[in-house]
Structure 1
Amino acid sequence: MVEVSLIEQLQRGDIKAFEKLVESTRQRGLNIAYGILQDPQDAEEILQEAYLQVYHHIGQLKAPETFRSWFGKIVTHLALRRAKEKGRFKTIPLEDLPAAGCSITEGPEYFLLKKEKQVHVAQTLKTLPDEYRAALILREWEDYSYQEISEVLDIPLGTVKSRIYCARKLLSKKLIEGGC
């Protein structure tokens, strides 16, 4: 894995490795921060803070292969703290996500209906409790494993599974009630 090699080089003091690490992890970090804050400027600031922490504390990372979840934990905690400071907790609007599996031949009516559903889902997602949303964002948008989410959010594995299950169930219930 490329990141493991970069981490080992960085731990030996190679600054070029840090630049490469930033390049390879930037989008993932932005996705997490933006998913929580829904503010591009705040997400950028959080990412900069996260990279400062990575740079100063990389020597404390005992197992380079755990960097992905360690980095995700740093970004998540910084973003959650910022959201709490600002009194808001937002999530990624589904309409901003790339449409998967859409055919060019599908008509404008299809896209209009799809857009309306995405907006409804995004609005409904915002009504979920913060702890459910955070777990769901990491699982569904960032494709983190349950174990990685457990490490990032610093909660037991069973709690992760429970929160994701409850988030999906609650989201589904609210969508059905809302006619989606």
Structure 2
Amino acid sequence: MDRIYNPVYAGVPDSHLVSLAQRGDNEAFGELIERHTAMAKRMAYSVLRDETNAEDEVQNAFWKAYEHIGQFQQDAKFSTWLSRIVVNECLMRLRKDRRVRLTYLDDGLDGEETVTLDLPDLAPTPESAVAKTQVGAVLREEIRKIPTLLRDVFILREMQELPMQEVAGKLGITVAAAKSRLLRARLELRARLDRHCGRQGAATLTA
């Protein structure tokens, strides 16, 4: 197993790990994910019936759980809360996969006038262009500081947009290990942006 989390958390209750994670302890959050990965995968597969899609949505659910851990109220079990996120991600995947209707903007219905749509001008303003350049510089610098073990998989997947199977092949590791490293790379980058810009991360750079 591609694991680097602190073994001192092994006997700590989920509720305490959640409290630590809410205070910014990424290793505590990592321990929570390690504990509940098998459950999350089983649940995702029961909804999607496809192992690859299930693993993708589990990763998405983990990332969403990390982003919203501060909102978790401990009147329920962490496993229950995580399960809901996993199921929601899977249901959204199903809805997306089933959305096959195409919209033709230029075609009017029989007996009706063709509707002209006024699309907004999406060209960046000078201010937004400068802000985007600043954010890009910060991101590049923080990505460069991520440990090589994690940075390589992040660049291949998030920047070069390679399939996870190809990422794993290039690195000579299993797909599961590649996904584990990708999640940790995202956590590492988020932590770095939090320290650099505050809890809202890179979004504060454009404020």
TM-score by length of 2: 0.40
**Which structure is higher in RCO with an 8 Å CA cutoff and minimum separation 6?**
1
TM-score by length of 1: 0.46
The higher radius of gyration belongs to 2
> Structure 1 or 2: larger helix share?
1
